[in-house]
Structure 1
Amino acid sequence: MSDLHHDPANITNPEHHEHHIVGPSTYLVIYGTLLALTAITVAAAFVEMGALNPIVAVLIAVIKATVVILWFMHMKYQSKLLKLTIGAGVFTFLVLIAMTLSDYMSRAWGLW
């Protein structure tokens, strides 16, 4: 009965494509990368960079988030439709942050 609904060409649901299996060695490399980036984050917290401290911290966090999204969430191996959906979400988030910062910086609260 299940063969009745089987779609070997994946025409019915093109967003569902073949699965990609990631080996343990890839996960170990990603784990090491995340540990190294965490160590860099901690080391950067002890270095006085003035106004660049939060920028460096956020940049490292974005790199770590990208690694997690690409490999642990298997985004690297997904369809273009799903990648476009994630990209649209990130773009919307950046627009909202830009609007918030433009409002915040337009006020006479501090020295810009």
Structure 2
Amino acid sequence: MNEENPSVETYIVVFVALLILAALTTGIAYINLGTLNTVVALAIAAVKMSLVGLFFMHLWYSRGLTRIVVLAGFFWLALMVLFTLADVFSRSWIKPPGP
């Protein structure tokens, strides 16, 4: 196991970046971008998730099997989201019975 840890300065920089991204998310919510609001909010959320995972969960400093397991988990999550969205978006293809 690698015992390398980030410095306090790294934690402070990541914390400030997370605060800025949270403020940016709030600010974007008040701007009408149409359907891009969701895309921008999800992109900002992905960056925040990456920062938390990489630095606060020490994935940046991990090696080998830990990175493989994390990448496999994200791949599995993406696959499940893809299948769920495929089901939701294909429901309009079949017209519901009724008058």
TM-score, scaled relative to structure 2: 0.90
Q: After TM superposition, what 4+ stretches of structure 1 lie above 6 angstroms from structure 2?
A: none
1:38 CA displacement = 0.5
Alignment partner for residue 78 of structure 1, among 58, 62, 66?
62
Establish whether residue 67 from structure 1 lines up as the match of residue 61 from structure 2: no
Query: What is the alpha-carbon distance in structure 1 between the residues aligned to residue 50 and residue 5 of structure 2?
Result: 19
Query: What is the alpha-carbon distance in structure 2 between the residues aligned to residue 53 and residue 18 of structure 1?
Result: 40
Match of 2:74 in 1: 90
Q: Between the two proteins, what is the percent identity of the paired residues? A: 35
Match of 1:10 in 2: none
Match of 1:25 in 2: 9
> What RMSD, in angstroms, separates the aligned Cα atoms of the two structures?
1.1
Between the two proteins, the alignment pairs up a number of residues equal to: 93
8 A Cα contact 2:4 2:61, kept in partner: yes
Query: What is the alpha-carbon distance in structure 2 between the residues aligned to residue 94 and residue 22 of structure 1?
Result: 29
TM-score, scaled relative to structure 1: 0.80
Query: What is the alpha-carbon distance in structure 2 between the residues aligned to residue 80 and residue 41 of structure 1?
Result: 34
Structure 1: segments with no counterpart, 5+ residues: 1-16
Match of 1:55 in 2: 39
Please identify the structure whose Cα radius of gyration is greater.
Answer: 1
Structure 2: segments with no counterpart, 5+ residues: 94-99
